[in-house]
Copies of this chain bind each other. A is one copy, B any other.
């Protein structure tokens, strides 16, 4: 013991070497500086939150002694039944026919990703992900020490066997254990997988006999184009029910109602859900029941209205950002054209480093965004950045894109 600080490093598990901070989360702190125009955090505009309705819901429940005492007590790990009923009806409407027993409530879909990695990954096993993919998914998965391989969509020379062989041949190699995708308006690229790409993903998963983890965080926020059925719907259609599907769907109310109550869900075949309920029990016993009851009331009363308002708001901002990029960006900069969600993805000239650009952006232009490299499991993508258009007003989007273009001109 003694006077000196303890040497903690040797105490840690091996997996701790793969736990690192998120540039996104660090950047959230910048939001407190009012002169920064932030395109960094992938967070909804709080002006859209159903504040009055949430306040009324809390008041109604807390004014009823029986309901209040129930809501303040421990509750079941699988989650509040009426909320699971609402979600199973919602999933069924999206084409993924299921029952409340196919749903487990999680603390946002981030917890869903943690639980699924815990259930599926032994150290050295392979997770198939996109290059780039959601940074928070990589952070959640990393704790379980996977190897990553890149899912190739569309025309590819890779056979299913090539994934399995690469997984087995890797140092400390294991098996391919799942494919993870954000098929609609992906974080970070805004890209949407076509129905053909989804079906070929299911074929690949079938050949490898692995589950598909579908992250539907942004699926409700489509601004134009033709909706594509969720992967889990295409999958469940083959047998008529989610119980026959290999797809595991992660949903959340964070982008449609409010992220603050931390309510998400997993929809999957019953055997998987039973396992996940055990994981929930061992992890944090249950999500706060009061928040689930309030979320159920909000889902019942204002879900469609909130989604419509979000679409109107974010569509305008996306259009404004696209127009501003078109107007201001120098040659050599390209960007994606998302049909929904809250992200645009910029590829800068090869010599331009997104992380260096961010430092200059904050210091000189008082704008923020997320450098793209952290979204790549292989550490490439230095010349990419992610822009979120959900939080800044249209006017600030104009100003911000002009400043960003000026920066890129100077740094590339």
A contacts, CB < 8 Å to B? 1-6, 8, 10-16, 19-22, 25, 28-29, 41, 43-44, 46-47, 49, 51, 54-55, 58-59, 62-63, 65, 68-77, 106-108, 110-111, 114, 118-123, 125, 136, 139-140, 142-144, 177-178, 206, 209-211, 235, 238-239, 243-244, 246, 254, 258-262, 269, 271-272, 275, 278-279, 281-291
B269, B281, B288: the one within 8 Å of A260 (CB)? B288
Verify A19–B73 contact, CB threshold 8 A: no
Verify A43–B177 contact, CB threshold 8 A: no
Q: A136 to chain B: which residues have CB within 8 Å?
A: 282, 285
The 3 closest A-B pairs by CB, nearest first: A55-B62, A72-B260, A46-B69
Q: A49 to chain B: which residues have CB within 8 Å?
A: 68-69, 72-73
Counting every copy of the chain, the complex holds 2
Verify A19–B279 contact, CB threshold 8 A: yes
Given A12-B275, A114-B284, A288-B260, verify A54-B47 contact (CB < 8 Å). no
Q: A29 to chain B: which residues have CB within 8 Å?
A: 76
Residue of B nearest to A271 (CB): B8
Given A5-B244, A51-B62, A120-B11, verify A260-B283 contact (CB < 8 Å). no
Verify B282–A13 contact, CB threshold 8 A: no
Q: Given A46-B73, A142-B282, 15 other A-B contacts at CB below 8 A? A: A6-B269, A11-B209, A11-B211, A12-B119, A13-B122, A21-B281, A25-B285, A51-B62, A59-B59, A73-B259, A74-B259, A107-B287, A110-B285, A118-B143, A136-B285
Verify A75–B260 contact, CB threshold 8 A: yes
Q: A142 to chain B: which residues have CB within 8 Å?
A: 282
Q: A22 to chain B: which residues have CB within 8 Å?
A: 281
Verify A122–B291 contact, CB threshold 8 A: no
Cα A44 to Cα B47 in complex, Å, equals 38
Residue of B nearest to A43 (CB): B74
Verify B15–A118 contact, CB threshold 8 A: yes
Q: A47 to chain B: which residues have CB within 8 Å?
A: 69
Q: A246 to chain B: which residues have CB within 8 Å?
A: 1, 6
Given A3-B239, A58-B62, A271-B5, verify A72-B261 contact (CB < 8 Å). yes
Instruction: Give the distance to chain B from A389, nearest Cβ to Cβ, in Å.
Output: 17
Cα A146 to Cα B168 in complex, Å, equals 25
Q: A211 to chain B: which residues have CB within 8 Å?
A: 11
Cα A125 to Cα B12 in complex, Å, equals 11
Residue of B nearest to A3 (CB): B239
Cα A260 to Cα B292 in complex, Å, equals 11
24 example contacts (A-B, Cβ-Cβ < 8 A) are as follows: A2-B239, A4-B244, A5-B243, A5-B269, A13-B118, A13-B121, A13-B144, A19-B279, A25-B285, A46-B72, A49-B69, A51-B62, A51-B68, A51-B69, A58-B58, A59-B62, A72-B258, A73-B259, A107-B284, A110-B283, A140-B283, A260-B288, A262-B287, A288-B291
Verify A262–B281 contact, CB threshold 8 A: no
Verify A244–B1 contact, CB threshold 8 A: yes
Instruction: Give the distance to chain B from A164, nearest Cβ to Cβ, in Å.
Output: 13
Verify A139–B281 contact, CB threshold 8 A: yes
Cα A278 to Cα B114 in complex, Å, equals 13
Instruction: Give the distance to chain B from A274, nearest Cβ to Cβ, in Å.
Output: 9
